[in-house]
A and B are shown apart, each in its own frame.
Chain A
Amino acid sequence: RKEVEQDPGPFNVPEGATVAFNCTYSNSASQSFFWYRQDCRKEPKLLMSVYSSGNEDGRFTAQLNRASQYISLLIRDSKLSDSATYLCVVIANTGNQFYFGTGTSLTVIP
């Protein structure tokens, strides 16, 4: 079983739409969670951390549900520039290894 699983999409949404991605993880002892963004043929870059109480950064909201072992990312008022692949990342309880999901592809259409 994979450490982290994501729906690969693709998600094609119109500008201004709200879109949500989910990601499940298998190790209940996982300690830290993140969302990264990867543009086509570029390296991944941190989008935001995911805190137990949930956190928001502008149009982006991240949630963690430890009981069901999933994290989510909500993007409101989608922009063309949001088009990218979104990777969820889980850190193992050892703290040394980052486990990446396969990514969810988002295209925002004019």
Chain B
Amino acid sequence: NAGVTQTPKFRVLKTGQSMTLLCAQDMNHEYMYWYRQDPGMGLRLIHYSVGEGTTAKGEVPDGYNVSRLKKQNFLLGLESAAPSQTSVYFCASSYSDTSKYEQYFGPGTRLTVT
């Protein structure tokens, strides 16, 4: 049982390049989330999904797209990377009853855009 995994762990992009971050969970969770964490800003929700085939915008969705084609996977895409997207990206998952069940986080992806 690996929990939540993220690939890659580190990446350096040039401005304008694109990439996809992959999140996978093996806990059969309905909900999945993508956050970014920046110094002094805390964790901010980018997009989330409440089930396979559904996605919704979070607090800071601009510049990102997501897809949830399979229940266990949640992909985060950057179509044209900008230096402002330099951050640590965390994926998380949870059961649907969020009042009772915690979020489980992946180890994070450290992205630098030059």
* Cα distance A43–B44 in the bound complex, in angstroms: 14
- Residue numbers in B under 8 Å from A42 (CB-CB): 107-108
Q: Which residues of A are found within 8 Å of B103, using beta-carbon distances?
A: 44, 46, 98
Which of B44, B99, B107: most chain A CB closer than 10 A?
Answer: B99
Chain B CB count within 10 A is highest, among A45, A49, A98, for: A98
- Nearest CB of chain B from residue A49's CB, rounded to whole Å: 8
Closest to A4 in B: B42
Q: How far is the CB of B29 from chain A (nearest CB, A)?
A: 13
| B31 with A32: CB separation less than 8 A | no
Interfacial chain B residues near A32, Cβ < 8 Å: 98-99
Which residue from chain B places its CB closest to the CB of A91 in the assembled complex? B98
- Give the distance to chain A from B98, nearest Cβ to Cβ, in Å: 5
Q: Complex formed: what's the CA distance from A4 to B31 in Å?
A: 22
List residues of chain B with CB within 8 A of the CB of A103: 42
The answer, among B31, B42, B56, B99, for a CB contact under 8 Å with A100, is B42
**Is A102 an interface residue when CB atoms closer than 8 A count as contact?**
yes
Partner of A96, one of B44, B48, B105, B106: B48
The residues of B that contact A34 with a CB separation of less than 8 Å are 102
Q: Is the CB of B98 within 8 A of A98?
A: yes
Q: What is the CA–CA distance of A98 and B98 in the complex, to the nearest angstrom? A: 9
Interface residues of A (CB under 8 A from B): 4, 8, 31-32, 34, 42-46, 49, 87, 91, 95-103
